[in-house]
Amino acid sequence: MTQTSDNVTWLTQEAYSQLKAELEYLSGPARTEISKKIEAAREEGDLRENGGYHAAKEEQGKQELRIRQLQQLLENAKVGEAPADDGVVEPGMVVKIAFDGDEDDTITFLLASREYASSEIETYSPQSPLGSGVMGKKVGQDAEYELPNGKMASVRILEAKPYRD
């Protein structure tokens, strides 16, 4: 999991290895594949009306952006251990909260970088309003955060456990 502090991103060894492998794939085999797609589309003729060419160029742009993001992330990464199972909310924790102390109105989410967003569990960034509001709180404590409309919302921390893949 990650925790961003200024330009430093904290990663577990597993997370670092996954991101490093993605970077190696994108900057190696994936670059070769997209170059071949662009070349094949270019050989089809008039580039102004060549949808395949423009789609491949757009895909290449997105891929190069991802490569730069990964390079920057890994360049500033510090590798460490997963958070301790001590009930304190920090990046890498699965957190269950109750809105306004209502035990029936709860959500459970992973507090982590958006790099870890998945369909398995909702992910909130530590820099998000909710993420920064619950950060450092202990199970049983209340936290406040600002809603997009400027009003304050209150939540109670019900659980905080280290995330396990």
Exposure pattern of 116-146 as b/e (b: 16+ CB <10 Å)?
Answer: beeeeeebbbbebbbbbbbbebebeeebebe
Higher-confidence residue: 156 or 75?
A: 156
Domain ranges in the chain with CATH number 1.10.287.180: 3-80
pLDDT digits (tens, 9 = 90+) for 30-77: 999 999 999 988 888 777 788 888 899 999 999 999 999 899 888 877
Is the pLDDT at 6 greater than 60, yes or no?
A: no
Q: How is residue 83 annotated by DSSP?
A: P
DSSP letter for each residue of 114-146:
GGG--SSS-EE-TTSHHHHHHTT-BTT-EEEEE
Cβ contacts of 52 within 8 Å, gap of 6 or more: 37, 40, 41, 44
Domain ranges in the chain with CATH number 3.10.50.30: 93-162
Instruction: Domain 3-80: give its CATH code.
Output: 1.10.287.180
pLDDT digits (tens, 9 = 90+) for 62-121: 999 999 989 988 887 777 666 778 889 988 889 999 998 677 889 999 888 766 655 577
Into which CATH architecture does domain 93-162 fall? Roll (3.10)
pTM summary value: 0.59
